[in-house]
């Protein structure tokens, strides 16, 4: 069995359902375990989007990580944000 990890920590901008529902549809008949990793904030504020995803009738688990944000949008801050997010994902993924 293969594992697929989908990481979407933001509930704004991309919208949780924008592309994830099509991924779930495409993987419906595959023998995979799908894990959606999102932030606590996205889990709370994106409840409607998560209800839409559950209607896809594809089994997936939802795991949360602590929400972090990039305060500035300059290159250094975004790089630091991505590195910090990588280690949060890595730490939480191995806990699955």
Q: Give the pTM.
A: 0.75
Residue 96's nearest CA partner among 31, 29, 34 is 34
Q: Token pair for residue 51? A: 């209800």
Q: Delimit the domains of the chain by residue range.
A: 2-93
Residue 41: CA count within 13 A, CB half-sphere: 9
Tens digits of residue pLDDT in 39-74: 888 888 888 888 888 888 788 888 888 877 767 778
């Amino acid at each position: 069995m293969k594992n697929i990890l989908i990481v979407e920590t933001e509930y704004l901008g991309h919208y949780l359902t924008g592309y994830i529902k099509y991924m779930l549809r495409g993987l419906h008949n595959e023998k995979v375990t799908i894990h959606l990793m999102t932030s606590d904030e996205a889990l709370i504020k994106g409840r409607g989007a998560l209800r839409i995803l559950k209607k896809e009738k594809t089994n997936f688990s939802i795991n949360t990580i602590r929400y972090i944000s990039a305060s500035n949008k300059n290159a250094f801050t975004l790089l630091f944000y991505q590195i910090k997010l990588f280690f949060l994902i890595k730490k939480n993924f191995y806990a699955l």
